């Protein structure tokens, strides 16, 4: 059930190769990471719109080219033993997942609606170029537009919609996307929502649960996957 969030975000600097390694060492068979485009349209692995929180640099990811991003320290903020850790490219992350036999939940970060098409195109290009095993990949996003483009360009790859709100019309609005899964904030999940998602034949994922003692209750609701910063504790 366990998916390491941003690798294993409680054990190593999030969205780095060492974080992915820590998830695997913890026994997780799935890992979730985030991707967005650098200024030169290279898919890189980082969550925030800017590099400020998780590196020693400043500025928007979309305004920094790969060469600049690679000069940043993405580990020292977490602990000095991680000094020199780099922001990985999607290509490097795919290689790491193959090496560790992990299934990848890749979240497409869409901070700018104008670049959604380019982001999906570049991600699809890297996945195809690496000949990445498509049965080991799930593409997820808060953006229905991004998922629709994924559906058109890589229809055989599973798609997951991420949400932090849910209403009576949510399932209806997702039907055309032919989803594999819904990824819902665990804080809003209740039995009615869980039942509606499961009855629709969808896989149910929750994020980001860091309390192992609550796992059983969510399992009883029908949750299939738990995304957590602490895969080692689960």
> Can you tell me the distance from the alpha carbon of 15 to that of 77, in angstroms, rounded to the nearest whole number?
13
Parallel, antiparallel or unpaired: strands 225-228 and 203-207: parallel
Mean pLDDT, the chain, rounded, equals 98
Q: Give CA separation, 61 vs 14, 30, 231, in Å.
A: 16, 26, 28
**In the annotation, is 5 catalytic?**
yes
Question: Tokens in use for 186?
Answer: 């665990």
Question: Tokens in use for 128?
Answer: 């195809």
**In the annotation, is 186 catalytic?**
no
C-beta separation of 210 from 228 below 8 A: yes
pLDDT at 171: 96
* Confidence class for position 73, pLDDT limits 50, 70, 90: very high
**Average pLDDT rounded to a whole number, residues 193-198:** 98
Token pair 């602990």 is found at: 79
Active-site hit among 2, 3, 4, 5: 5
Question: Tokens in use for 137?
Answer: 């990949």
For 134-168, the pLDDT digits (tens) are: 999 999 999 999 999 999 999 999 999 999 999 99
pLDDT at 231: 98
Q: Answer yes or no: pTM beyond 0.95.
A: yes
From 194, 147, 211, select the one nearest 175 (Cα to Cα).
Answer: 147
From 215, 201, 181, select the one nearest 32 (Cα to Cα).
Answer: 181
* Domain spanning 2-47+87-228, CATH architecture: Alpha-Beta Barrel (3.20)
**Average pLDDT rounded to a whole number, residues 203-210:** 98
Active-site hit among 8, 14, 47, 89: 47
Q: Where are the domains of the chain?
A: 2-47+87-228
Greatest CA separation for the chain: 48
């Amino acid at each position: 059930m366990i998916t390491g969030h941003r690798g294993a975000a409680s054990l190593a600097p999030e969205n780095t190769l060492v974080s992915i390694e820590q998830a695997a060492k913890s026994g997780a068979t799935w890992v979730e990471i985030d991707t967005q485009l650098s200024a030169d349209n290279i898919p890189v692995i980082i969550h925030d719109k800017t590099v400020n929180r998780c590196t020693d640099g400043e500025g928007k990811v979309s305004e920094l080219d790969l060469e600049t991003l690679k000069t940043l320290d993405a580990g020292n903020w977490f602990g000095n033993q991680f000094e020199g850790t780099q922001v990985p490219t999607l290509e490097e992350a795919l290689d790491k997942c193959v090496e560790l036999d992990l299934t990848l939940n890749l979240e497409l970060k869409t901070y700018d609606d104008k670049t959604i098409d380019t982001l999906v195109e570049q991600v699809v290009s890297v996945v195809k170029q690496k000949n990445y095993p498509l049965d080991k990949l799930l593409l997820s996003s808060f953006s229905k537009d991004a998922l629709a483009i994924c559906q058109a360009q890589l229809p055989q790859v599973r798609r997951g919609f991420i949400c932090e709100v849910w209403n009576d019309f949510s399932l209806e609005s997702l039907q055309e996307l032919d989803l594999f899964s819904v990824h819902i904030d665990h804080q809003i999940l209740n039995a009615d929502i869980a039942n509606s998602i499961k009855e629709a034949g969808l896989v149910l994922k929750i994020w980001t649960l860091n309390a192992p003692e609550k796992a059983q209750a969510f399992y009883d609701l029908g949750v299939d996957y738990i995304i957590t910063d602490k895969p080692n504790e689960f």
